[in-house]
Structure 1
Amino acid sequence: MAEETKVEDKTVEAAEAAAEVKEEVKPNPLERKVEILLDRKEVEKQVAKGLRERGKKARFHGFRPGKAPAAMVAAAYGREVEYDVINKLAIDEYIKKIEEGKYRVSGMPDIAPTEGAPADADKISFTATFEVFPEVTVPDVKDVEVTKYECELTDENVNKTIDVMRKQRATYNPTEKAAADTDEVTVDFKGTLDGEAFAGGTASDYKFILGAGRMLAEFENGIRGMKPGETKTFPVTFPENYPSKELAGKTVEFEATLKAVGEEVLPALDDEFAKSLQIESFEKMKNDVKDNLQREVEARLQARTKQSAMSALLSVSDFPLPHAAVEEQRQALIHDAVEKMKLQGIKLQPQDIPASAMLQEATQRVRLGLEISTLVEKENLQGTDEQVKALAENIAKSYEDPKEVVDWYINNPQHKAELAAVATENNVVDWVLKNAKVKNEKIPFENLMADRA
């Protein structure tokens, strides 16, 4: 008896929980329904016409093509033809209703027979259920804080960049000295795990620059200080996040022979160095480097500021979203992710990705897209031809023939449209900066350039 009581209690709890869940399901404020009435005689007329067309080509055993009795054709194809006719007429009527009501529809409709519709000898009733896009107003951002990022490009930054270019063109002279950072070393090595060689752990005449970080730090420590001809055995512990599961977090032993050391020789910073880079003089090279860095700095600052502005728009956005639009965006993001993984050699199908994946990003993209569209329309923020040309000219500065590049953008409709979209987005960012609370924040050059986002 006590056991029965427990079962009853659990049943009651389950029922109460189900009731609570049911209460939480809110009606979709963007859902709309329209009634579609089809004339039964018109349906029958179209079905008869469709069966006649089928009958002309239909093949039945014992009859020549197109000579089968109408009753036989109707028995074989009647349901299919009726479905096609009703489907076409219902969609045509749905489109008329949408145009009459001036609905801004999101996604495909669900058209089904009207539940509980009274029997009507003359009409067939359907209900089309669909979502519409919400009414979006210009957002109020006056109380929202937006960060405008700044960075000063100094001569030191320019000189360091030139030093990197210089090191990329270094030569290496053979030496008998002990291996040190910046030297090019040639090594034979063999790695073993528990006494057994492991895949990828053996190489001959392997060259790398000591201290450049191309090899594991412990491996470089083992080589540092060795002299040509010297052989040495030392342990190396692989990081926990190492791609190879066999080696991740494991300690192995390497036996290495240093075969040669090359001492770094840097080219002189003069006109000859510039000419090796197809630039007429060192002074011009330095100016070009500065100009290119300045463009890169501005682009990165603009990207960071844009991100802050878009976050500001999202923070004041409060309107319902059509589920269809969000799902369409989510599927697009999943498709892009699958394609990127394919390029990395990872085989993955869209159905392998959880339903919740990409949902937040898809939601934000749809919300931001509707917000921006509203701003562009109501605040007249569409990119102008002058802005598009200015963007093209800025891109063209780093090319040998700037005019040719500008013409390539301006005279190609697709490329021009891409720049117009960028100009429009810039206008939106400027609008946010003009109307929100702006906080200026300086970023060190090194931090800005290290940011891969």
Structure 2
Amino acid sequence: MQIVETSNEGLKRAYTVTIAATAIAARIEGEIKKVAPQVRMPGFRPGKVPANLVRKLHGPAIHQEALEASIREALDTLVAQQALRPATQPSVSLGEGYAEGQDAELTVALEVLPVIAAPSLDGLKLEKLVVPVTDEQVEEAVARIGEGQKTFADAGEGAVAKDGDQLIIDFVGKLDGEPFEGGSAEDAPLELGAGRFIPGFEEQLVGSTAGEEKTITVTFPADYPAENLAGKETTFDITVKAVKVAGEFEANDDFAKALGLESIEQLRTLLRGQLEQETAGQTRTQMKRQLLDVLAADHDFDVPPSMVEAEFEQIWQQLTTEAQREDNPEEALAEIEAEKDDYRKIAVRRVRLGLLLSEIGQANGVAVSAQEMEMLIRQAAQQYREEDRQRFVEYIRNEPLAAAQLRAPLYEDKVVDFLFDKAEVTTREVTREELQAAIEADENGNPAVIADEAATDAGEAPAVEAEAPKKKAPARKKAAAADAAEGAPAAEAEATDEGAAPKKKAPARKKAAAEDAPAE
């Protein structure tokens, strides 16, 4: 095999590789000898079919397999002899007019990873912002649980309903005087002031008494999902069957035991841990951003254009998807289009930092163990149907790039934790608002793409942590949220102001549930 370098510019390389016809022919003969014993033909005993007949019957297929195997072997030899570290899969083309019996001349083009000197970690300093959890916050969390667990008791004869009370009602909704589908219910509980029904519904029932019958008029929101009701004025015939008042909440052992716990102190301990865990993730994000900014400021080297393009396409796809979900998608798309160059710069930074962190990890023996990888595979397989899980496991084990992408987030965590351990860390207590402000302060804070060492060695683009660049444009609200949540994928859905509601059919509810019933 003959290798000739034809181009060497920056990180781009090009070669011509010539595979001798005799080498291909020898591989073909070897394949024929291998398959001949398995060929069955009338008139011949098993395994006794002549080689010339095997060639006549299966020659083109065997030649194609031999050629492909020769090309793969040639690429492996090229990478080894030239000491290349491919950044992406090489582009290979076979010379025009090639036919069996001729030398195969290949044109190979690829990009290589830059040579990066592992940086010195001496003098690395980081500030860790922590949010202490107060007793008041714990008690507020207990009270919120109590609010969700509250019970109601009959208010007594003649009681007048007020906000916070619960009514038990029958109702019939009418549009143009005729009942509409899903607009009726019996014995429906309604907590006044909870805001679970469409605007104007609950307010008109304040002051009601048990046994009272009344008709109210409400207008559905213009953007209500049920088109036949959106923006329409309707009436509801209502019978108030009972008025109930909420019982007083007491944070005591009996309350905790009703939740399946041993005591109120155990509940407080659990809630304190949850509150601490909530801010711990934000603290890590703030520290990681500092770390990446320090590394980015000290390193500037060329990165493979193909890796940058792949990273940019991922960023751009996320941004355009989010923009299309905005109230005014055309305006949102125009806004991000105007900043397209900025996002390309973000892609460059992410790839550069990813390669740098990969180099640090490899230089310091950071790795994902076989046991950890097995756990990752098993966890990822749980998202598939039971009958498809084993097929997913086999796919990951047989596809290096897929395995690298699955491994990358854990590898990144290990590299970042390694750097945290090496850094001189000072701790400062702040409020939750101050921590969030610190995270959002760097409007040009661009999370890194983290290359897994196996992906890099395999010549594939590094798998990325699914964080998006943080900007102010409305189309990027979710992207900013993902940026603030280190290691978390960009959200496909986010909580609405109305909150989630169980799916039902009656349409007196807010627009948050397209087919929700008026009552809980």
Structure 2 partner of 1:211:
193
How do 1:8-87 and structure 2 match up within 5 A? 29-51=10-32, 73-87=54-68
- Given that residues 309 and 433 in structure 1 are in contact (C-alpha distance below 8 angstroms), is that contact kept between their aligned partners in structure 2? no
Structure 2 partner of 1:183:
165
Cα 1:377–1:446 change in 2 (3 A) is: closer
Displacement of 1:255 after TM fit?
Answer: 0.3
Q: 2:281 pairs with 299, 302, 315, which one?
A: 299
**2:240 aligned with 1:261:** no
SS in 1 for 2:89: strand
- Separation in 2, partners of 1:247, 1:427: 59
Letter in structure 2 aligned against 1:266:
E
Structure 1 partner of 2:213:
230
- Separation in 1, partners of 2:109, 2:187: 70
Q: 1:99 pairs with 53, 57, 80, which one?
A: 80
Displacement of 1:421 after TM fit?
Answer: 5.5
SS in 2 for 1:33: strand
Q: 1:167 pairs with 126, 129, 147, which one?
A: 147
How do 1:279-358 and structure 2 match up within 5 A? 279-283=261-265, 285-306=267-288, 310=292, 319-321=302-304, 323=306, 327=310
Q: Deviations over 1:220-244 (max 9, x none)?
A: 323333333332222133263x4x2
Please identify, of 124-133 and 46-55, the stretch whose mean Cα deviation from structure 2 is larger: 46-55
**2:416 aligned with 1:425:** yes
Structure 2 partner of 1:156:
136
Structure whose residues are more often helix by fraction: 1
Displacement of 1:445 after TM fit?
Answer: 9.3
Q: Percent same amino acid among aligned pairs?
A: 24
Letter in structure 2 aligned against 1:373:
S
**2:104 aligned with 1:124:** yes
- Given that residues 60 and 68 in structure 1 are in contact (C-alpha distance below 8 angstroms), is that contact kept between their aligned partners in structure 2? yes
Letter in structure 1 aligned against 2:218:
P
SS in 1 for 2:275: helix
- Separation in 2, partners of 1:83, 1:206: 72
- Given that residues 147 and 309 in structure 1 are in contact (C-alpha distance below 8 angstroms), is that contact kept between their aligned partners in structure 2? no
- Given that residues 184 and 264 in structure 1 are in contact (C-alpha distance below 8 angstroms), is that contact kept between their aligned partners in structure 2? yes
SS in 2 for 1:295: helix
Structure 2 partner of 1:372:
357
- Separation in 1, partners of 2:291, 2:435: 23
- Given that residues 158 and 286 in structure 1 are in contact (C-alpha distance below 8 angstroms), is that contact kept between their aligned partners in structure 2? yes
Please identify, of 44-53 and 131-140, the stretch whose mean Cα deviation from structure 2 is larger: 131-140
- Separation in 1, partners of 2:229, 2:295: 43
Q: Deviations over 1:343-401 (max 9, x none)?
A: xxxxxxxxxxxxx9xx97987765543232234445x495999xx9xxxxxxxxxxxxx
Cα 1:446–1:137 change in 2 (3 A) is: closer
Cα 1:92–1:283 change in 2 (3 A) is: closer
Displacement of 1:71 after TM fit?
Answer: 5.8
Please identify, of 287-296 and 321-330, the stretch whose mean Cα deviation from structure 2 is larger: 321-330
- Separation in 2, partners of 1:223, 1:310: 57
- Separation in 2, partners of 1:259, 1:166: 26
Structure 1 partner of 2:459:
none
- Separation in 2, partners of 1:57, 1:247: 70
Displacement of 1:91 after TM fit?
Answer: 0.9
SS in 1 for 2:24: helix
Displacement of 1:109 after TM fit?
Answer: 2.7
- Separation in 1, partners of 2:233, 2:154: 31
- Given that residues 151 and 444 in structure 1 are in contact (C-alpha distance below 8 angstroms), is that contact kept between their aligned partners in structure 2? no
SS in 1 for 2:277: helix
- Number of residues of Structure 1 aligned to a counterpart in Structure 2: 367
- Separation in 2, partners of 1:79, 1:116: 16
- Separation in 1, partners of 2:410, 2:23: 51
**Normalising by the residue count of structure 1, what TM-score does the alignment of the two structures yield?**
0.61
Displacement of 1:88 after TM fit?
Answer: 0.6
Letter in structure 2 aligned against 1:48:
E
Letter in structure 1 aligned against 2:359:
T
Cα 1:418–1:319 change in 2 (3 A) is: closer
RMSD across aligned C-alpha pairs, in angstroms?
Answer: 5.3
Q: Deviations over 1:278-301 (max 9, x none)?
A: 554445544543344233333333
- Given that residues 182 and 210 in structure 1 are in contact (C-alpha distance below 8 angstroms), is that contact kept between their aligned partners in structure 2? yes
Displacement of 1:99 after TM fit?
Answer: 1.8
Displacement of 1:252 after TM fit?
Answer: 3.8
Displacement of 1:172 after TM fit?
Answer: 0.6
Cα 1:420–1:49 change in 2 (3 A) is: closer
Please identify, of 44-53 and 88-97, the stretch whose mean Cα deviation from structure 2 is larger: 44-53
- Separation in 2, partners of 1:48, 1:34: 28
- Given that residues 303 and 351 in structure 2 are in contact (C-alpha distance below 8 angstroms), is that contact kept between their aligned partners in structure 1? no
Displacement of 1:85 after TM fit?
Answer: 0.9
What runs of 5+ residues in structure 2 fail to find an aligned partner?
1-7, 322-339, 373-406, 438-480, 486-520
Cα 1:171–1:135 change in 2 (3 A) is: same
